[in-house]
């Protein structure tokens, strides 16, 4: 059986999102660890904010103008290489909110992954 059928695009997107959540967790942990470090600036991923803003403003009209450009129909490419932005000083409350949000997103992705494996198991055991 071709692995592309079993491990489809959804699985790849879940994997990429889990990787993104892991990177975000490391950044938030680093921010919290350096809360009292003079001159330290908060670091965060810019992918979520940029995508959210473009979707809210409905200005996202991507086209591929060069063969080296990312495929506009493939959001996983943007998730694989998020940019890290520096902000102001570390704010404990906003970092804790970010930590809770990131944890919920991670748990949601794990639940989706478990559901996918459950569906595969059902398909295999029922002979479909």
Provide the residue-wise pLDDT of the chain in tens; the chain has 128 residues. 455 555 677 788 888 888 888 989 999 999 999 999 999 999 988 766 656 655 665 554 556 677 766 565 555 555 566 777 888 899 999 999 999 999 999 999 999 999 988 988 898 888 65
Judge contact between 23 and 98, C-beta under 8 A: no
- Which residues constitute the domain of residue 58? 3-125
Judge contact between 56 and 69, C-beta under 8 A: no
Beta carbons within 8 Å of 105's beta carbon, 6+ residues apart: 17, 21
Q: How many domains does the chain have?
A: 1
CB atoms within 10 A of CB 98: 20
| SS3 per residue for 20-62 | HHHHHHHHHHHHHHCCCCCCCCCEEECHHHHHHHHHHHCCCCC
pLDDT for 71: 60
State whether the Cα torsion 88-97-100-58 is positive or negative: negative
**Residue position matching structure tokens 């129909």:** 73
């Amino acid at each position: 059986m071709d692995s592309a059928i079993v491990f489809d695009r959804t699985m790849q997107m879940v994997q990429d999102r889990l990787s993104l959540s892991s990177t975000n967790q490391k950044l938030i942990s680093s921010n919290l660890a350096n809360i009292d470090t003079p001159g330290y600036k908060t670091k965060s991923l810019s992918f979520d904010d940029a995508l959210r803003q473009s979707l809210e403003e409905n200005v996202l009209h991507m086209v591929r103008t060069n063969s080296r450009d990312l495929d506009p129909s493939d959001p996983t490419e943007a998730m694989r290489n998020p940019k890290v932005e520096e902000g102001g000083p570390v704010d404990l409350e906003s970092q804790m909110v970010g930590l809770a949000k990131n944890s919920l997103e991670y748990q949601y992705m794990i639940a989706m992954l478990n559901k996918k494996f459950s569906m595969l198991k059902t398909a295999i055991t029922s002979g479909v």
